[in-house]
Structure 1
């Protein structure tokens, strides 16, 4: 993907529980990809008093930031966007810590206030999950942000001291947690949520969730379901699955909780508090599910830089850009892919009386046509399978998990084989299998007509007998 304007952009997020460094390779406004990520548990809020951050927490955070800055220097990073959130902004010695980092590491840490933290989380989410109206929930270690979305933009956000680590340190002292402590947690969560003046305006609305706690809850459920996708993007976390997880968190001691499939061991001691926050939001809003966004604060900070030419850093057509972005970062053959897309579209439209698929299915066909040869970046042999794998691991922003599975399978069957949904039964049904068969036949025909990769077949006209 490298061009003359390609940059390496690093985002450092110093949170209350973890510090993360993500590095993006980006051509602003054109394409980007994640090329590196480092996560360190710093527990910055641990042991915090009215005097501020503890010496041990400061040492852990400073050591991690020093490692991050050295990594950025050694890998020739062009831009560093570094932020600190609730632990530093709440600490009496937070400013002194920021000054020390600036002086000793030559790193400028920007302290985000609660509204800014909510804003960047929303930007990261809306570039992954299109949401015209509703709410976005982000649970961190020290705080939780709930934002109201209207007309595809963040209208207002509230920051609450409902972080997983903060609540655990305040209310949990027994292992396993006692019923009394669970009740105290639930009461505090409800109390804080009802301080939001606009909370009733987002009742019964769509809810998007992000942050490490929510992703971990989703990961646990995908392991239960044996999901075929490697990305959590677009996963629906339901009240039933959440309740099942909460029951196990309450019942199991920490040592056994750490062995739950999908749960990060270093998050096992604080996951219950975060899960109770999610359930409290469900109950307060009167909803029974949320959609997972893999984009959050770090991605929001990066995307403000990436979309710097836009008035508001959310792309209008998330689905279209996500397909093009994936195609670009894996070096797709643009002319060939576009011509296959053109021929497939013509076949789809003319054969509509025979297959009766809808406009959304045509969009899936378009996406698969652009992405069908992605796997050649790995090897030509078996490239249809490699294309499927790349889509599995990368996901496609804006598309549902069902749609991602169908696009991946279409690329898998664009060459040969009998299309089937084996291994995808947790996401797809028999009707989807029929859709896959129709669309794969069209895509395969379009690919064969453009086999020479020279657009010698300009158009296609179909005829059939009614018999």
Structure 2
């Protein structure tokens, strides 16, 4: 049974029992009305084919059945079955173990119901019961189980967006499908206070299409959320009932506080940084949400009617925007945010991280000014306040047709960007920030991550390492070659540190590139370096800036072949001179490590280096056939020779004579 309907204590879904495609509950055991449930046989068969098995990591059996709303296990049954019939389609029983159903109850702050069971269990509960106003299935996965596919419907003030993502066993999130339709409901609400019937009909059609896409993607769970336009509309009950009927799942209208907290969760999983405290900025079409995070906890949130669509409708009177309109927007932002900053207690110059569609559209415009061919991902792209101010003035001086001609413009947001740029730049100025870091993940991703209670990353390195590990698992070939190359690369980096002068940051990038250097093999062994670089560019790595992704892609692209990184390669062309020089050194090291690692792993045991008579001597010791590995490495040494300005010679020394630093 999909995300619609409640279950009784012991009953079965009538649509399942009778074999009909559609059925509805009439009354629960407690006499309360129960929502209708929709069963789609095609989607069900697809989902059951890929649905993970639910098992318990402990050998202790859970004997019992569901006891109604209070939960718990009885001792009369010899084996468990899925406690609620709604879960029978997504839970495959094990004869040796069972899924123990937790007690359910509404959580604080309006979040979803239910809780985790004992460690090791994957709970798949249906949290709709007579005393709960939510309806959903909950899943948390141990490492040995496959991913859960979740769809989020983000019904925003400017656009409706669909995100389908796989929640990995380690708690990571991998987006697999996205869709977006611009409806601008926020403009209607700002102008009239309600969503008109025509716009509501279009909204209903869009969510039906999203539901169909989600069904075809065989999702395990659908989570529809709505934001400012639904909060502020006077006909909100009509909106909610229409959308719920179209989706078949209760709609969750987020408060400003919940919207800000979900955005914080998305940012934490997408951006790697050490700053504390920091401010999350979610600039949407209908509202602006702010959250102050200090010590890993959200200490303050507040929402303001400063969304791009709202401001455009209420304060912008001409196109192009007049100077008077621009002054009015700035005054409105300052009047609302200056007291809020005092309430938040945020220090001057606190790091700001901006999420949301408006911030993303502005980041693309600024990236198009910097790079002839902007990167595929602008996660962690820095929006400097001076550049943002200049862009806001430029947008204000252009009319709609002129804005549409700008490189990098988002045509669907062109009308709202002049006001959005002024709001964001003024907000940063109020908080004393000299810019903001853009996060590609925000509300939608945060809703999923909060749903499964993924803990915040312990350190910035954890975000990057987990993202690289997921990409390596998906595309990397099996075997120990990647680990061998990584070890050789880090040993050589450490042994030549006095020559290249690079630090821990570059060492970390080299380690990640070494782990991913062969991921293109599954596409084409002959051109694995080209395909591997493409996968790194477009793989959605989290925690890396566009420049860092470009450096890793360049290393992987040129770790094979006769060439070296050159400006004709787009990602390398986007680097500055210092980054290019570092990339040349790292690529040269990876090329040699790849050569040394192409032979059997026992052929090379240790690597050392020393400078003698103006040349770099790389010392190699091995127990089997180090000569073959050295021959491979000598052919690839030219890039590093040019990068450090030293001739490189290889020497084979007896095993055990080298003392190397730990990798």
TM-score normalised over the length of structure 1: 0.92
Partner of 1:117: 259
Residue 97 (structure 1) aligns with: 239
Q: CA deviation at 1:282?
A: 2.1
Deviates more, 1:360-369 or 1:393-402: 393-402
Residue number in structure 2 paired with 1:218: 363
Structure with higher helix content: 1
Residues 572 and 580, structure 2, Cα contact 8 Å, conserved in 1: no
Higher relative contact order (CA 8 A, sep 6+): 1
Report the secondary structure of 2:608's partner residue.
Answer: coil
Q: Which whole-Å CA distance do the structure 2 matches of 1:314 and 1:19 have between them? A: 29
CA contact (8 A) 1:193 1:199 kept: no
Deviation at 1:462, TM superposition (A): 2.0
Aligned residues: 463
**Residue number in structure 2 paired with 1:341:** 486
**Preserved contact between residue 166 and residue 173 of structure 2 (Cα < 8 Å):** yes
Deviation at 1:39, TM superposition (A): 0.3
Say whether residues 1:52 and 2:197 are aligned partners: no
- Whole-Å separation in 2 of the counterparts to 1:463 and 1:103: 69
Q: Distance in 1 between matches of 2:479 and 2:260?
A: 38
Q: Among 493, 504, 509, which residue is 1:364 paired with?
A: 509
Instruction: Work out whether 1:324 is the aligned partner of 2:469.
Output: yes
- Quick check: 2:482–2:515 contact (8 Å CA) kept in 1? yes
Q: Which moved more, 1:66-75 or 1:3-12?
A: 3-12
The offset of 1:4, in angstroms, is 5.6
Aligned with 1:258 (options 392, 404, 412): 404
SS at match of 1:461: strand
C-alpha RMSD of the superposition: 2.3
Larger radius of gyration: 2
Aligned to 2:121: none
- Report the Cα distance in structure 2 between the residues aligned to 1:79 and 1:456, rounded to whole angstroms: 48
The whole-number CA distance in structure 2 between the counterparts of 1:228 and 1:170 is 34
Q: State the partner residue of 2:306.
A: 162
Matched, 1:80 2:227: no
Which residue matches 1:238? 384
2:547 counterpart of 1:375 = no
The within-5 A match list for 1:57-68 is: 57-68=199-210
Q: 1:206 to 1:461 in 2, by over 3 A?
A: same
Q: Give the C-alpha shift of residue 97 in structure 1.
A: 1.9
The residue aligned with 1:278 is 424
1:283-331 deviation line (CA, Å, top 9, x unaligned) = 112222111111110111122245x3x4x34464112112112212324
Equivalent-residue separation in structure 1 for 2:358 and 2:283 (angstroms): 6
Distance of 1:314 and 1:348 partners within structure 2? 28
Following the alignment from structure 2 to structure 1, what is the Cα–Cα distance between the partners of residues 407 and 597? 46
Q: Given the alignment of the two structures, is residue 428 of structure 1 paired with residue 569 of structure 2, yes or no?
A: no
Match of 1:126 among 268, 276, 298: 268
1:20 correspondence with 2:164: no
Q: Distance in 2 between matches of 1:411 and 1:72?
A: 35
> Is 1:388 aligned to residue 533 of structure 2?
yes
1:449 maps to which residue?
A: 596
Classify the secondary structure of the residue corresponding to 2:151. strand
| Structure 2 match to 1:297 | 443
> Is 2:261 the partner of 1:142?
no
Structure 2 CA distance, aligned partners of 1:178 and 1:432? 41
Cα distance 1:355–1:186, how it changes in 2: closer, same or farther (>3 A)?
closer
Distance in 2, Cα, partners of 1:9 & 1:331: 25
Residue 581 of structure 2 corresponds to residue 440 of structure 1: no
Check 1:198–1:339 CA distance in 2 against 1; reply closer, same or farther (3 A cut): farther
Shift of 1:12: 0.8
Q: Is the 8 A contact 1:176 1:251 kept in 2?
A: yes
Q: Which moved more, 1:350-359 or 1:122-131?
A: 350-359
Report the equivalent of 1:401.
546
Task: Give a deviation string over 1:380-408, Cα, whole Å, max 9, x none.
Answer: 22211222222222353222333222111
Deviation (angstroms), 1:426: 6.6
Unaligned 5+ residue runs, structure 2? Answer: 1-49, 53-143, 614-663
Q: After the TM superposition, which of the residue ranges 312-321 and 365-374 deviates more from structure 2?
A: 312-321
Whole-angstrom CA distance in 1 between matches of 2:439 and 2:167: 21
**Is structure 2 residue 154 aligned with structure 1 residue 9?**
no
Decide whether the 8 Å contact of 1:10 with 1:72 is kept in 2.
yes
Alpha-carbon separation, structure 2, partners of 1:32 and 1:204: 31
What is the distance in 2 between the residues matched to 1:334 and 1:217? 43
Structure 2 contact 368–374 (Cα < 8 Å) conserved:
no
User: Counterpart in 1 of 2:36?
Assistant: none
CA deviation after TM superposition for structure 1 residue 45, in Å: 2.2
